[in-house]
Amino acid sequence: MSSTMMDVPLTLDWIADRAERWFPDVEIVSRRPDKSLTRTTYARVIARAKRLARALGAAGIKRGDRVATLMWNHAEHLEAYFGIPLAGAVIHTLNLRLHPDEIAYIAMDAGDRILIVDDVLLPLYDKVVASGAKFERVLVVGSHGEHESYEAFLEAAPATRALPRLAETDELGTCYTSGTTGRPKGVVYSHRSTLLHTLVAAMPDSLSLSHADSLLPVVPMFHVNAWGLPYIAAMVGAKVVFPGCHLDPPSLLELMATERVTIAAGVPTIWIGIRDVLDAKPGHYKLVPNVRMIVGGSAAPEQLIRDFDRHGLTLIHAWGMTETSPIGTVSRLPAALEGADDATKYALRARQGRPVPFVELRVRNENGDVPADDTTSGEVHIRGPWISASYVGGHTPERWTDDGFFRTGDVARIDKHGFIKLTDRIADLIKSGGEWIASQELENALMGHPAVREAAVIGVPHPKWSERPLAAVVLKDGQLCVADELRTFLASRFPKFWVPDAFVFVETIPRTSAGKFKKTELRDTYRDWKW
């Protein structure tokens, strides 16, 4: 026998219709390239998204076709987030921080038929085309020049064309991993996976998004769908403040103050820059009390959490990746530990936390699941309804276990509270004299030193130990620090053999398009280090 419940698919039109019907007047604010702000509403964004969907259908876009975006975070990108899937098509958010060759490869691999591009990104678009990408049509938001206008495309949409009836297993969007090795690999999200991710991400112990929030997604909409935030915001009816292309700390802080932002989301680099400005100009920006700052993408140093607490801002640690939609874990202090001492609480908040509902997570090494002893390390395996089961084209099937878990490539320990702590990427572990050293742990400790702004630790070939750690350190403005001081600082926290043998002081550390340290480049630079 079967239940008496209605058979209703989990499809994006539920969120679109909800925002349009119940939150019509909630504001969507966008920062434009000239730094001006424009304001629209959910009613208008969704009406335009539906218009886009009809226009795409009229243009011959069929179920499963790929439509790409090359855009910053703003209202038109939100229209594409809804309009493309409502047409039955698949939104492919191209990462504008990648090399044009790589963007071209990804667009061709996905088979993108139409591209929607910001006028300010046309120079990049030209390079992508020069690198071999071909699109049937290119729609330009803003000054379109000799190209086709996005606005004209919308205006020409038929007024009455029916949108396709969606199934929950239909494809909704596709993203490519910006891996540091090998070609980028694609995953494809379904309507079902996206909607379940949206529900779980909004929960109080996840990101806790409500209709009363004003959300600033600093994380780009071309990075794993801005962590799902555009869909979460529309579902709960939160105001959204899009920063456009202006991601410098003063521009962001100004937006946070004037638009009464209550929650923001971005990678550690962004927050380090914001912290530095707040330190330099305490009290200058009148922010809402207790703004929550979601940090993900890479591990946030504990010191950063402490620093923001001083400024009345709360950093909340989350973890995930392209293959996980992305939210896998969120760090929320267990209720039982609210009375614990600061050291315990900060240490827990700097961990990546516990899995959200419907995510099964285990940390495994060659002996099986690691004990919750906070000592034994293993690789994080993960399973759930918004975790990818493969890459497009079936590349590297060895990333999945026989029992259906995704091998994340992240190394972690787990403590008695069930909190995971990422210590490294498997590829970044340093093997010294037969023992493993976790580079990220050293980095986050170094970033707790008052003179250090950023630090990256890599393994460099060594004649005797196979590899030894080398630390590349960026000091804060006006700070002086010698290697011996950092060596002593680390020696009190780690086994002696973990302490880097070499410290180099540099201006900047190379980063990937996702804001992570580009360790391949660092390793190339220092490969011939003379020990």
Residues in touch with a copy of itself (CB under 8 A):
1-8, 10, 14-15, 17-18, 21-22, 25, 64, 169-172, 186-190, 192-193, 196, 199-200, 202-205, 208-213, 235-237, 239, 332, 334-336, 338, 354-355, 357-358, 360, 383-392, 404, 418
> Could you tell me the smallest distance in angstroms from the CB atom of residue 461 to a copy of itself?
37
Burial of 430 (0-12, 13-18, 19+ CB in 10 A): buried
Active site residue 239: no
> Could you tell me the smallest distance in angstroms from the CB atom of residue 9 to a copy of itself?
8
Q: Is the CB of residue 351 less than 8 Å from the CB of residue 332?
A: no
> Could you tell me the smallest distance in angstroms from the CB atom of residue 355 to a copy of itself?
7
> Could you tell me the smallest distance in angstroms from the CB atom of residue 231 to a copy of itself?
11
> Could you tell me the smallest distance in angstroms from the CB atom of residue 64 to a copy of itself?
5
> Could you tell me the smallest distance in angstroms from the CB atom of residue 192 to a copy of itself?
7
Out of 41, 69, 177, 322, pick the active-site residue: 177
For residues 207 and 224, give the distance between their C-alpha atoms in angstroms, rounded to a whole number.
16
CA 28 to chain centre: 21
Q: Where are the alpha helices (DSSP H) in 111-140?
A: 122-130
Out of 254, 314, 345, 436, pick the active-site residue: 436
216 strand-pairing partners: 264
Nearest to 455 by CA among 430, 472, 480, 476: 472
Tokens of 490: 């680390």
> Could you tell me the smallest distance in angstroms from the CB atom of residue 428 to a copy of itself?
26
For residues 269 and 260, give the distance between their C-alpha atoms in angstroms, rounded to a whole number.
22
For residues 411 and 403, give the distance between their C-alpha atoms in angstroms, rounded to a whole number.
19
Q: Containing H/E element for 41?
A: strand 37-41
Of the pair 355, 469, the CB lying nearest a copy of itself is at: 355
With vertex at residue 428, the alpha carbon angle to CA 425 and CA 429, rounded to the nearest 5 degrees, is: 90
Out of 35, 134, 281, 431, pick the active-site residue: 431
Active site residue 76: no
Out of 323, 379, 441, 443, pick the active-site residue: 323
Burial of 436 (0-12, 13-18, 19+ CB in 10 A): middle
Of the pair 15, 121, the CB lying nearest a copy of itself is at: 15
Of the pair 122, 387, the CB lying nearest a copy of itself is at: 387
Of the pair 351, 449, the CB lying nearest a copy of itself is at: 351
Q: Is the CB of residue 41 less than 8 Å from the CB of residue 71?
A: no
Active site residue 400: no
Q: Is the CB of residue 173 less than 8 Å from the CB of residue 92?
A: yes
Beta strands 186-190 and 112-118, pairing class: unpaired
**What b-and-e string marks burial along 245-273, b requiring 16 or more CB atoms within 10 Å of the CB?**
bbbebeebbebbeebebbbbbbbbbbbbb
Active site residue 431: yes
Of the pair 54, 362, the CB lying nearest a copy of itself is at: 362
Of the pair 156, 212, the CB lying nearest a copy of itself is at: 212
Of the pair 22, 497, the CB lying nearest a copy of itself is at: 22
Of the pair 360, 435, the CB lying nearest a copy of itself is at: 360
Tokens of 62: 């069929």
Contacts of residue 313, defined as CB under 8 A and 6 or more positions apart, other chains included, come to 278, 287, 290, 291, 292, 293
> Could you tell me the smallest distance in angstroms from the CB atom of residue 190 to a copy of itself?
4
Tokens of 120: 């300010």
Task: Write out the catalytic residue numbers.
Answer: 177, 323, 431, 436
